[in-house]
Amino acid sequence: MWRIPYRGGGADKIRGLDFGCGIGRITALMCEFGIDAHGIDISENAISEAKNVLELAGFNTSIVSIYDGQNIPFNNNFFDFTISEGVIDSLPFSLAKKLLKEIERVTKKFFYFSLISSSSVSLFNSNSYQKDGEFNGEFVVQEKHEFGTIQSFYNMKKIKELIKETKFQIVWGELIENHDIFTKYSHGRYHLVLEKIT
Ligand SMILES: C[S@@+](CC[C@H](N)C(=O)[O-])C[C@H]1O[C@@H](n2cnc3c(N)ncnc32)[C@H](O)[C@@H]1O
């Protein structure tokens, strides 16, 4: 099995991308692990906050940057691996597919990400979706905390469609679901590791 070689510190460090890094919590964690970390996001506010977080933690603030949301500003195979938490399922499916190809282009081997599961649709107040636990479409969130953002729900069929046109294969995956015994609402997330097969 191919493993990311541990190359220690210095110029030879393992290089990782935090895609959709937000305020940089995973970017900072990657730095803690001695990884040559980079983070990109479309939000100016998020990147500004990420720079504060990195500065407070004593890390280089220039490793996070804004980009255009479609074209990842790094060369082919620049990163040993990419991580993306809570981003791909906030994108329209067509853009998510395009960005998966971009992530594949800049990533040498592994990509970890997570996706909200179709059963979680019960969490949202949109009545028309409430009863259908197998909903795997997308809608614009009306709830206060994420108002106006896209929520795209995934089942295995949609996950396979997402990665179909890339060289990625699923090499590890878990679906972690919580069921509230009082409200009966479910919340589930797929956690996936893809490997680029060349
Ligand atoms: C729920 S936050 C997650 C942030 C971070 N990954 C974390 O776990 O803390 C989603 C992030 O995705 C970013 N985002 C939205 N569209 C994006 C795109 N096309 N490319 C990269 N990031 C994007 C948002 O600006 C936001 O910071």
> Percentage of the chain with pLDDT > 90?
71
Exposure pattern of 148-187 as b/e (b: 16+ CB <10 Å)? eebbbbbbeebbeebbeebebeeeeeeeeeeeeeeeeebe
Question: Which pLDDT value is given to residue 5?
Answer: 56
Query: How sure is the predictor about 61, in pLDDT bands with cuts at 50, 70 and 90?
Result: very high
Q: What is the mean pLDDT of residues 101-106?
A: 98
**Does the pLDDT of residue 160 top 60, yes or no?**
yes
- How far is 69 from 47, CA to CA, in rounded Å? 13
CB-CB neighbours of 5 under 10 Å: 9
Question: Which pLDDT value is given to residue 16?
Answer: 98
Question: Which pLDDT value is given to residue 196?
Answer: 98
> In 3D, which of 42, 27, 36 has the Cα closest to residue 8?
36
Q: What is the mean pLDDT of residues 163-185?
A: 93
**Does the pLDDT of residue 110 top 90, yes or no?**
yes
Return mean pLDDT, the chain.
89
Query: For the chain, what is the HEC assignment?
Result: CCCCCCCCCHHHCCEEEEECCCCCHHHHHHHHCCCEEEEEECCHHHHHHHHHHHHHCCCCHHHEEECCCCCCCCCCCCEEEEEECCCHHHCCHHHHHHHHHHHHHHEEEEEEEEEEEHHHHHHCCCHHHHCCCCCCCEEECCCHHHCCCEEECECHHHHHHHHCCCCEEEEEEEEEEEECCCCCCEEEEEEEEEEECC
Here the tokens at position 131 are 């009863």
Which domains are assigned to the chain? 14-117+155-182+190-196 (3.40.50.150)
Q: Give me ligand 1 centre to Cα 86, in Å.
A: 7
Tell me which of 67-71, 120-124, 191-195 is least confident.
120-124
Which residue has the least CA distance to atom 8 on ligand 1?
85
Give me Rg for the CA atoms of the chain.
17
Question: Which pLDDT value is given to residue 8?
Answer: 53
Question: Which pLDDT value is given to residue 134?
Answer: 64
Q: Are 107 and 172 in contact (CB under 8 A)?
A: no
Q: What are 120-148's pLDDT values in tens digits? A: 876 665 555 545 456 677 777 676 767 77
The alpha carbon of 57 is separated from its chain's Cα centroid by a whole number of angstroms, namely 23
Q: What are 5-35's pLDDT values in tens digits? A: 555 556 678 999 999 999 999 999 999 999 9
Question: Which pLDDT value is given to residue 150?
Answer: 84
* Index of the ligand 1 atom closest to the CA of residue 95: 19
The more confident residue out of 151 and 48 is 48
Q: Give me ligand 1 centre to Cα 176, in Å.
A: 21
**Does the pLDDT of residue 2 top 80, yes or no?**
no
Which residue has the least CA distance to atom 13 on ligand 1?
20
